[in-house]
Amino acid sequence: MRLGLCSRSNDIIEPYLKPQWYVDCKDMAKRSVDAVKNKELKIVPESHERTWFNWLENIQDWCISRQLWWGHRIPVYLVTIPGLIDHPDTNNNDHYVVGRNEEEARLTAAKKFNVEPSKIKLVQDEDVLDTWFSSGLFPFSTLGWPDCNEDDLKAFFPGDLLETGHDILFFWVARMVMMSLELTDKLPFHTVFLHPMVRDEEGGKMSKSKGNVIDPLEVIDSCNLDVLLQKLYDSNLPESEIKKTVVQKTKEFPNGIPECGTDALRFSLLNYMIQSNINLDVKRVVGYRNFCNKLWNINKFALSNFSQDFQPEAKGVEGLKLSLSDKWIITKLSKLIEQTNERFDNYDFGYMVQGLYDFWLKELADFYIEAIKPVMKSEDPEAKKAALNTLYVCLDSGLRMLHPPMPFLTEELFQRLPHRKGEAPESICIAPYPTKLVSFAKDNVEENVVQLQSIVSKFRSQFAALNLAKSANPDIFIQVSNPALKQVLEQETAVIQSLVRSGVTKVVAAGEPEPKGCLKTFVNEHVTVFVKVVGLIDINLEISRVDKRNAQLQDLMEKLNKKITMKGYEQKVPEKVRQENLEKLQGYQQELDANNKSIGDLKKFL
């Protein structure tokens, strides 16, 4: 036999049978099921409809009475009438009446038992309503119901959207729908959006008893390690759990939790919504804090290039002398606007913020801004005007789209932009959301930039393999067999030079003599690239350096292989650690293969 014990006092918990009040939910549940099946009520994601139907199609009578100190007291009264009901029976429903107050209940009892109200003695039931019963009334009871002429009720009921966690879909959402339909004959809202549950890094449910709860304020405002540990010492955790959690917290946050801010935390949580659960890793939030810093630096670059009298063109980029990079970023922005609006409408917030992140970081910062740096230094006023207006359009539209998940930073940056006089919104909060933008997709700009990016990537990889200093600026050559692509690349040599950080940058046709003293690398069937290394590096010294690194790699691989092949490795080592070791081994092998190729290429010049 096992005795139940109270978690706080350790007293033995004894079952006690007591009459309870129930609600027959069958008819209300059927109406709620039909509302979803008829698409009058939309549940997002749709996968949760299965839970809705499973609960409501198998509904049981709902026990609504609770033996608690706090709550809405059940409006039920036990009746005593001398000579008729001298000893009322708490198990007999006929001895109870219902009323909004004692006076109404007394009149109801007088009519029911056909006696004078003065002869009736009433005792209200001491039980309170189940909290889900009380909260089920929330959509309309807070707006003046049952007075259907109340202005607030007319204005705000029914609502549009309910957002909540999927764990209370039945406990709260279904109860609100059932009670609204029953008491007002209306649905309380037309859409229910269910967000994932926030869990710890390992996917465990956050619980004070486990000591794995992450306080959002600690992430927003920062928190040092001493404060984190003191909260554990002040908790009710068993000593063994405190010791275990202290070790874990010290390992995870040796310097405490850095200040990340509200925007970074919100953006992180939204990005997690690509998954079914939010396994919150503070290090990921710190990563998005760095993204916030990047946004600030992008804006800083733009403002440093906008002159004091700069005014964006009224028609945007229309009629300007746009480069390939200008057309490409505008086309990317046009697609992003379309995708973001679609994802917003579909409550697809995870992919929405991921798309915004990729645009700002990978497309705007990593490519476009680097591509226009030569333009900013040039003496071509038309090219500069096109680039500045393109950059302004990207920042203006990009900040507007980014505002819902990052309201504070975007407001600050938006206010700093040089808007057209008399047309600037007072706040980004009320600025129109972008819905459409011109696109140059038909001009094959995306395909051409993909070719350009693959060339840049190949050069960067080659520079890294040669261990070239950032200031080396080697001469580079691009051999192209496709005439149309050659023409495009010839116009973009300054862009390639800026992205690669090279010296002389030249595009040559296939069939021309290969440049001397260069390492040759194949990009695709149309493009081969050359890096001039003779006179730039000491070939023997570089081979010696790579040989030394290869010896280190082979030693690391030997030790790791020895560990992996030990007896009982699969059974004793956690799966996560085994996966990390496998990835390390693969990384060592890839680096070794790349080094061997580099040595072979270098030996050609000896």
- What's the mean pLDDT in 145-151? 91
Per-residue pLDDT band at 199 (split at 50, 70, 90): confident
Classify 571 as helix, strand or coil.
helix
Task: Name the least confident of 356-360, 392-396, 569-573.
Answer: 569-573
Which of 4, 61, 3 shows the shortest CA–CA distance to 29?
61
Q: How many residues does the chain have?
A: 606
d(CA 606, CA 603): 5
Asked whether the beta carbons of 228 and 218 are under 8 A apart, the reply is: yes
**Confidence at residue 543, expressed as pLDDT on a 0 to 100 scale:** 82
> Please, which residues bridge with residue 76 across strands?
98
Per-residue pLDDT band at 211 (split at 50, 70, 90): low
pLDDT of 394 above 80: yes
Q: What average pLDDT does the chain have? A: 90
pLDDT of 536 above 80: no
d(CA 571, CA 561): 16
- What's the mean pLDDT in 299-305? 95
Per-residue pLDDT band at 2 (split at 50, 70, 90): confident
- In 428-498 the beta strands, taken as DSSP E runs, fall at 476-480
Q: What is the pLDDT of residues 224-274, one digit of tens each?
A: 888 888 877 877 777 777 888 888 888 888 888 889 999 999 999 999 888
Q: Domains along the chain?
A: 22-74+125-195 (3.40.50.620), 198-259 (no CATH), 302-443 (1.10.730.10), 469-532 (no CATH), 541-603 (1.10.287)
pLDDT of 175 above 80: yes
**Confidence at residue 567, expressed as pLDDT on a 0 to 100 scale:** 86
In order of 166, 279, 347, 397, the CA distances from 39 in angstroms are 19, 32, 17, 34
**Confidence at residue 45, expressed as pLDDT on a 0 to 100 scale:** 92
Sign of the four-CA dihedral 38, 41, 44, 45: negative
d(CA 521, CA 454): 12
Asked whether the beta carbons of 502 and 533 are under 8 A apart, the reply is: no
Q: What is the pLDDT of residues 37-73, one digit of tens each?
A: 999 999 999 999 999 999 999 999 999 999 988 899 9
Task: Name the least confident of 302-306, 334-338, 558-562, 595-599.
Answer: 595-599
d(CA 261, CA 514): 54
- What's the mean pLDDT in 350-369? 95
Angle between helices 239-252 and 225-233 in degrees, nearest 10: 170
Q: What is the pLDDT of residues 553-598, one digit of tens each?
A: 899 999 888 888 888 888 888 888 888 888 888 888 888 887 788 7
**Confidence at residue 237, expressed as pLDDT on a 0 to 100 scale:** 73
Kindly give the pairing relationship between strand 121-124 and strand 96-98: unpaired
- What's the mean pLDDT in 156-166? 93
φ/ψ of 428, rounded to 5, equals -65, -20
Task: Name the least confident of 50-54, 104-108, 275-279, 505-509.
Answer: 275-279
**Confidence at residue 591, expressed as pLDDT on a 0 to 100 scale:** 80
**Confidence at residue 257, expressed as pLDDT on a 0 to 100 scale:** 85
Which of 360, 369, 345, 346 shows the shortest CA–CA distance to 406?
360
> Please, which residues bridge with residue 529 across strands?
478, 521
Which of 302, 312, 306, 297 shows the shortest CA–CA distance to 424?
312
**Confidence at residue 209, expressed as pLDDT on a 0 to 100 scale:** 65
More confidently predicted of 499 and 470: 499
Q: Which amino acid is at 597?
A: K
- What's the mean pLDDT in 76-85? 92
Structure tokens at 23: 């609600």
Cα 6 to its chain centre, rounded Å, is 39
pLDDT of 396 above 70: yes
More confidently predicted of 573 and 150: 150
d(CA 66, CA 129): 6
d(CA 49, CA 170): 11
Listing from the earlier edge strand, what are the strands of the sheet with 505-509? 505-509, 476-480, 527-532, 518-522
More confidently predicted of 351 and 8: 351
> For the residues of 81-115, what is the DSSP string, one character each?
BTTTBSS--TT-GGGEEE-SSHHHHHHHHHHHHTS
pLDDT of 1 above 70: no
Q: What angle do CA 263, 269, 272 make, to 5 degrees?
A: 140
Asked whether the beta carbons of 353 and 336 are under 8 A apart, the reply is: no
* Burial class of residue 17 (count of CB atoms within 10 Å of its CB; 0-12, 13-18, 19+): exposed
d(CA 558, CA 556): 5
